[in-house]
Structure formats: C-alpha cells, structure tokens
Amino acid sequence: MAPLSVAEQSRLENNMKNWTLLFSLLTVQTLAEGPVASSIIPLPQKIEFRAGTFKLSQKTKILADLNSTNTAELLAGLLRKSTSYPFVFRLQPFSGATPKNCIVLTTRDANTNLGLEGYELTVATNIIVIRGQTQAGLFYGMQTLLQLLPPEIFSTNGVMKMNWQLPCVRIEDWPRFPWRGLMLDVSRHFFTKAEVKKILDTMALYKLNTFHWHLVDDHGWRIEINKYPKLTSVGAWRSDIGFKLNPKASTAYGSDGRYGGFYTQADIREVVAYAQKLHITIVPEIEMPGHSIAALTAYPELSCSGQAPVAHRTGVYCAGKDASFEFLQDVLLEVFELFPSPYIHIGGDEVAKGNWKKSDLCQARMKVEGLKNEEELQAYFIRRMEKFINAHGKTIIGWSEILQGGLAQNAAVMDWIGGSLEAASQGHDVVMTPTARCYFSFYQSPDLIAEPFNTFSWGDVLSLEKVYSFEPISAKLAPEFQKHILGAQGCVWSEFIPNLKEAEYMTFPRLCALAEVTWSARESRNFADFTQRLKIDNQRLRQLGVNFRPYHPETTGQIGCWTPAQIKTNAAPIEWDVTNNVNAAGKCCINFSYTEGHSGIEIAWVALLEDGQEICRDAHPGFAGIDPGGSFYILNIPTPKPGARYTLRAQVAAGTFGRRGIGNPIKQTDSADVTDSNGIVFWDLKPISKQP
C-alpha cells in the first residue's frame, strides 16, 4: 500500500471538487443508462457515458505492454472462464494504427495525477484501454471493466448465448483513502486457507486493499511459529465450539474431534502471495499483552501466576517478566519473515490489569521504570515492543487502548472505541473502525427474529445505511490533521459466526457500502443510488457463490429514546407507551441502540405491562453503549386485550464503556457515575402467523 503524499491528496481533492457538479448530472445520466451501466461499486470518481457499445467476441484480443503482462493474463483468465472465448494475448506496446476489437492494458502515458492506485478506462466501440501508473491501478481498472459487463461475467463456468456487451464510457478513478480494509477474526472461528482466499477475491472486486488477519486471540492461536510449537499443538484447539453455538454448524474440527485449526507457515506464504496478486496487503495481528489465553495455555510460564489462565480476560502476559518480551520478539521475528506488510498489528485492547496489580514482578517493574499505574505499565509494554518492531523496519498499529498511559512514538491507532481525534491531532496515523459503523458482527436489522442467523450477535444493529453514511473524517478534526486518517475497515468478529456462509452473510453487502465510503468521493454518496446499483451487484455475488443479505428497507419502528435526564446511577425503570404497537400476539424484538454520550446503559430486564400489570419479561443483562452487548430483548406477547394500555418498562442504570474493566481510552470512566447517555429504542412485533 502506498499512501498518497499530502500534495497528491490535496490535488486529488481539488480535482474532485471541480467534478462534483458534473458528477451529480452524470449520476442522473448513469441511472438512465440502464442497470448494467449504473452498477459500479464503488462508484468511480469521474464517469462519462458515451454513445455506443463494445461487444466482446471470439476475436477480441488482449494487448499489454511488458509491465502489464500479469494483469493482462489475469483479465484474460477471468474473461475466458465465463465467455469461453480465447482472448488471445499479445505483448505489444501501442504503436502505429489503432488496433481493432481489443482490450489494451498499458502504463504508458499514464496520468500521474490519479495517484498510485488510480486508472483511466476508455471503452469505445472498437477498443478498450485501461491505463494506470501501476499494476494496482490497472487491476482496479480491470475490476471496473468487469462490472460494466453483465454479472454473468463472474460465472465460474462458461455461459452460452450471452451478449457480452458494455457501454462506451470514459472513467477516471482513484481512491479517496489509502486504507480500505476488512478484518477477519480467525481465532474464535477458524477459517480455512481456501475460505480466506475466497474472501480476498471478493474484497478485490470492490477495490479493497488491506486484509487485517486477526490471527491470535483467547480462543485460538492460528499461526505456526517454529520456535514455539505448542502455540499451535495446544493453543490452536479447544474442547468445544463454545459461545452457545450449535457444534454441527461448523466444520473446523481436527481429526481428534477438537475444535480449531491453524495455518502452517507455508499456508501463510501462499495466502500472502495470493493477496499480493490481488493488490491486497495482509496486516497480521499478534495480540498483546491481553487476549492471550491461547498462548498462555500453551506457555503458562509467561503469565503472572505461572498458571494457565482459566477465567475470561485473565489471559495477559506478565509485564514483569523479561521472558514475555523475549517470547513475543521471537514470535515476531518469524512473523516479519512471513508478511511484507509495513504494519504489524499488536492488539493492545481490553487488557484487564488485575493480574498486574497482584503481581510482585509487575509492581517491581513499575517501581524500576517509574510507572505510576498499570495504564503506564501497559504503555511501557507497547513502547518496548514498538522499539523492537521499528528496529525491524515495521510500524505498529494497535486498538484504541494503546493510547492509555501515552501513545508509543510511531504507532498508528485503530479506533474502535475512540481515540482517533487525540491520536491524529498528535500526528499519528489512524484507521477508523468504530463499532457503531464498522462492526460487521453486529446484527444488520433490529428485526432479528427475521435474521436467519439469530442465535446471538455481539452488540447492536448496524444497518447497511448506517455503514454507507459513515464519514471517516470527523468534523472535529482540524484540517491539517485530516491526512492522518488513513481510511476505514469493517471488522468481522467470529464469536457467533461458526462458518463461512454466515461470515459472508454478515459481511455483504455492508462491505460494499464501506468500499464506497473509502474509495468514492464523499460528495457523490447517495444511498438510494447505491441500493439501485446493489441490485446488480447482488447478481455478481450470486455468480461468485458469495452469500449475502439482500437489502430491503427496514420496517422496524422507533418507539422512543432515552436521554440523560432519565438515567440514574442506580437501577431505575424507564417506560414507553406502546399501546399503539401491541396489536397482535407474537414475538417482539426490542433493541436499545446507543447514539451518544460518555456512558451507556446497563439493562437488567425488559418487561411489557398491560394496564400496569407485568405480562412478560426478558431478564438477561445487556449493555447499550459504545461496546454494546446483549442489548436485544425478546418478549413473547400474548393476545392483546381490547382497550388495554400497554407499557414497555426497562430497568436501567448508567454504565460506562469500562463496564468490562477496559475503560475509555481517553478518559478512565470506570465508575458508573456518568449519566449522559442517549439512545433509541426500536420495536418490531412479529405476529404469530407471520413469524418466519
């Protein structure tokens, strides 16, 4: 990945502004061109449709200059599969008479103003030219070309009797952000090498360029490390799938019946090389110092107690033992060899500091190093690792909490629960992945009864529209620091995702929306237009055998909200009149969706009252806040009584981001005395006869 220089970025943005007006006119024209012409995702920066069409035929040739041979071969291979035409390939610089009926890929005379990932695509009636400075640019031009063709072009088998025609068009295109990513958690659920490749293929279709591989977490260590074989012989396996999932929903079992799996170093090399061909950088994540149960089960001597951790969130490397650092450095030496990525993700999130508080060695370290508290010990841990990683020519990136106790000198921050403003305005690079916009493990609709995979999901609702309307650059960030926002990525956490089919369902089309957020001009975003294009895009995904959630506008209603005035530090009821909403017997799904404030709300239970008498209750504990969990409630509503008054009552108290002991990275608010939470309450009643 090659981030644009400041000058390049500002030139592109000026360019973009000049084109905004023309662009809005062209969008209208685009829609008038018919569905195929208007279905490119992400939307190009400049597009001008022209009269006429180009038709692929048995005789269409592919010509490329020497630099572009690999990309041309890739295109020829893709086109051959579905069309069954030969697409004879010729190595030929453009010269003399304009060749006919051919597709040309060239770096010659490329417009350097379009940046290192930009391209120009011209489709005329007898020639198609893709031009770019780099092979990444040509690759993206190729993706756009494929999207101008009928969706059957993505078929993996020959499709007969197709009219392989595309509209004449002139496109100039470049990405808005240099980091356009997706994170996949392969620790909670192990995805095979083939499954990861399929996800990479689909990312490439949308011009995404960064795959963040969450290889290590409490529930499984997935990368072979030669020096520490127990990481995978022990740490890659668990006795059952857990998370209350159906064990039959997954195939990730070893021959001895244990749940899990891992990638050999040869597997990793293969996947990295595969991604490189798709112009995707793989950023590996090796979690530290927390989320380390799997590693510490294999090597318990690295924990503070010397015992394997048993309880959730106690898997933390001992910061008082030099052996912890030596171990992680050894691991990283092997990781550096496998991944050319300039970034190494070191996790850093949700580090429960209880073990460190009790450990003599950690306390002694704090004394020697002059560290005031465990947050500073965490900063010491990260800085010490950063020094090692920097010395090997790599940059660290870590989750929001690496801000605690002071940010390491050259670190980049991945903002999931805040910290981007602070980090960017100190000159650190930032990747945006806020839970409320980018966590694809959240439900896609408050109507979770209608969701096919509704066992449980982390947190809240993240609708397609909410992803689409995400703006990675906060209005609060001063213009001179905006260049530090590298982009954004979707995160697929797999606690409740036991197989690829469900992972794809959670990812698509939300990733398509995020692709547009990170690639296209901000001014060009238009959700109605996007959902039109998505109809064709869904057909592409169908051809590719990718499972996706079909988009349909929400029917779920909002019954009210909560505001700071209603929230107390101790549990107290809040009520909403739902008389008009209780109109049939059925299952009702209620969702508490946090919108803003430093705190969230802890929910003890939710009940429905009929003329003041409770008639049903869901009594699981939930939290609606920046890192939500269990904020959905399901009530089994009996046949309503005519004329009765119905009230929804929730027992709530102020709760902080730090309810799990993790704390707001900017400001520790572990005490529940902040009552400034705001949010919306959604209600969806499925009458018995209409339940899926």
423: part of which helix (H) or strand (E)? Answer: helix 420-425
Q: How far is the CB of 493 from ligand ACM (least distance, A)?
A: 6
Residue ranges binding ligand ACM (CB under 6 A):
349-350, 399, 416
| Residue 350: CB minimum distance to ligand ACM, A | 5
Query: In whole angstroms, how close is the CB of 316 to ligand ACM at the nearest point?
Result: 14
Pick the closest to residue 549 from 567, 560, 565, 537 (CA basis).
537
What's the burial of 327, exposed, middle or buried (CB within 10 Å: 0-12/13-18/19+)?
Answer: buried
| Residue 454, burial from CB neighbour count under 10 angstroms (0-12, 13-18, 19+) | middle
CB of residue 384 to ligand ACM, shortest distance in Å: 21
Identify the active-site residue in 287, 350, 415, 504: 350
189 is a catalytic site residue: no
* Sign, CA torsion 200/206/212/214: negative
For 50-88, letters b (16+ CB in 10 Å) and e give: eeebbebeeebbbbbbebbeebbebbbebbeebbebebe
Work out how close the CB of 45 gets to ligand ACM at its nearest, in angstroms, rounded to a whole number.
32
Cβ-based nearer residue to ligand ACM, 349 or 618: 349
When the beta carbons of 150 and 434 are compared against ligand ACM, the nearer one is 434
The residue from 173, 195, 217, 447 that is catalytic is 217
Which entry of 189, 291, 345, 598 is annotated as an active-site residue? 291
**Contacts for 157 with CB less than 8 Å, ≥ 6 apart:** 81, 82
Q: How far apart are CA 10 and CA 1, in angstroms?
A: 19
Residue among 349 and 451 whose Cβ is closer to ligand ACM: 349
The residue to which tokens 């430093």 are assigned: 598
Nearer to ligand ACM by C-beta: 447 or 495?
495
CA distances from 365 to 300, 330, 354 (A): 20, 21, 15
| 350/451 with CB nearer ligand ACM | 350
Is-catalytic flag, 291?
Answer: yes
Closer CB to ligand ACM, 44 or 628, in the complex:
628
What is the rounded CA–CA span in Å between residue 309 and residue 313?
9
Identity of the residue, 93 or 242, whose beta carbon is nearer to ligand ACM in the bound complex: 242
Q: Least Å distance between CB 464 and ligand ACM? A: 21
**548-569: buried (b, 16+ CB within 10 Å) or exposed (e) per residue?**
bbebeebebeebbebeeebbee
Is 217 catalytic? The answer is yes
Residue number, nearest CB to ligand ACM:
349
CB of 311 to ligand ACM, least distance (A): 17
Residue 196 in tokens: 């990861």
**Phi, psi angles (nearest 5°) of residue 468:** -60, -35
Catalytic residue ranges: 217, 291, 350
